[in-house]
Chains A and B, each alone.
Chain A
């Protein structure tokens, strides 16, 4: 792993009686795209706000090393932030507002104006530069909000739920833009709950649940650690027991066996021929297909287990009984 430019150490934050984040740590490596993934209320935005010094942690610390190996407070030009709470001056022309935010980040007016013009052209908004923000569509306002975060060429960009409210085309656009930012030397941390976008974009992810990190790593590494590999789905014509499959060396576990459909989680690199032969000998298989385990599966299983451990246990028990 490259050197960490941002580090949160064991941070905690409570709001009244609600413990939003506890015992959370992260390291953001220079030049990576790190995703904070988690359901609503997992504590992602609270972590982001603490990283951006919008709120201070009750315990723990956030350390920046943007200017060298030694910890130092970040300069405002080094940070870019797209808050979850979108907000723009609605009655002000787009270009003027962008220049204002650029100057607050330390740019001269001339440099901010040039950068704003470039970004507006890049995002197809050049002709709207003199229009008041309120005249733009929601999607275009989100593009402007994105420009506010990156106008000044920050070293570390934090995007809180950048894809929310975007149509698929604009989601693709934002994925491309974030990759370009990384290619230009920026480090990006973003929070999201759209798994396929995280899978496409993130070099590494941290899955949060209940204010804690419950899973961390690169997408392939997580897949491997999770059991990776694939899933085999069999359609069977009769109601014969399938529990013998659980003992098969190629099968990690039976995920479900309901309504003539048996879903098997396979062990990594498991040889399938013996499994298919044994299953075919004892079951009347009408169709079969396989699929890769996705981040969605990891997310649902991890978060589901953390959210409802009792329900999770009950499901597994039901499978065993059914099997």
Chain B
């Protein structure tokens, strides 16, 4: 029996152990229901934004006005009504009382710290700006011209390229979230699988039967497939939610930004390679764990999270030198490259180099993991020291 067939047998075994169709269906439904409820609550929140009525005394000093989309309403009052209005604020009948004493000074009377304070401050700033400009005695046309933003035409060098759309940003963000989530999911499965086998004492049976490298390779392959199924399941739920939202808003179904099939293929490639890379690492760590509840090795499981973090930088500035380097470096490329692919032009050599380095990293890591796995899986009652692990690798 070839090692390849053994690897595939182990992979299929691990896949069947952890992928249960009913569970996947329940996860899909729960994600849909959870996402649907979240979206509904957010829409309701937008439609029923709490509004506040603010009584204003001294509007003649500063003609404050709410913007059309603001939740604030300004109602002018006479100065002799101040006392009654203060009492109304105390009784929560009014959101607040604004006492404008001049263009530069105002007092706000409220029952508690208002959530709309920044909106009010913006309205006051705009009113003050207008008042100051009027004091400069400018003609209305000149004033309008002064306040108007400059017009900017954006022309793209390549025909067919458009601005970075909201959809593209969404895809980039989802790619980062899913690949990191997938690595975490896979890491959890690998940890459960390896420590479970140690605790169920099946390791000696298997080590005496097949090469330990074939065992770990099959395990990583099978559990990477498990992670991929979990991620695809969640991705399917998210796409369904986005399509549903788009249709509900009168759109055409699939939101923009899902268009570049090449970027999608490369994203899947980076995702899978990321799984293989980190699951090899986690398998080696898990093999050294004697008791998952008391092991001091558990913090090592956060290393993949640290290495996924730069995907956040890439969302903000996909073309910076640092992000470009991280997009090629094998510890981070699996998370950064998919974001860059969704947001910006990635040179072909960058993609090729990143994949080559990641593949080389996987090869080295799986060999190291296989060596540690071979010896550590047979250790019970204690965890191997770092020195022992270094010795195993030297001997290998």
Contacts and interface: CB of A to CB of B under 8 A. Distances in A.
A81 B208 contact: yes
A101 B9 contact: no
Interface in A178-207: none
Contacts of A100: 9, 13
A77 B1 contact: yes
A76 B203 contact: no
Contacts of A81: 205, 208-209
B379 to A, nearest CB: 11
B17 interface: yes
B53 interface: no
Contacts of B6: 104
Nearest to B380: A85
Contacts of B209: 76, 81, 101, 104-105
A87 B201 contact: yes
A101 B17 contact: no
A286 interface: no
Interface string A105-120: 1100000000000000
Contacts of B207: 54
Contacts of B10: 104
A26 interface: no
Interface in B166-205: 197, 200-205
A282 B204 CA distance: 63
Given A52-B208, A54-B208, A76-B210, A104 B200 contact: no
Given A89-B197, A105-B209, 6 more contacts: A54-B204, A54-B207, A76-B210, A87-B205, A89-B202, A105-B1
B212 to A, nearest CB: 10
Given A52-B208, A76-B210, A106 B1 contact: yes
B378 interface: yes
B206 interface: yes
A53 B9 CA distance: 21
B202 A55 contact: no
Given A54-B378, A104-B6, A106-B1, A88 B202 contact: yes
A49 B205 CA distance: 11
9 contacts: A79-B208, A81-B209, A83-B204, A86-B201, A87-B197, A87-B203, A91-B17, A92-B17, A104-B206
Nearest to B211: A76
Contact of B1 (A49, A53, A76): A76
Contacts of B1: 76-77, 105-106
A94 B167 CA distance: 50
A90 interface: yes
Contacts of B197: 87, 89
Nearest to B214: A104
A81 B207 CA distance: 11
A79 B208 CA distance: 9
Contacts of A101: 205, 209
A54 B212 CA distance: 10
B59 to A, nearest CB: 73
Nearest to B202: A87
A148 B204 CA distance: 13
A103 interface: yes
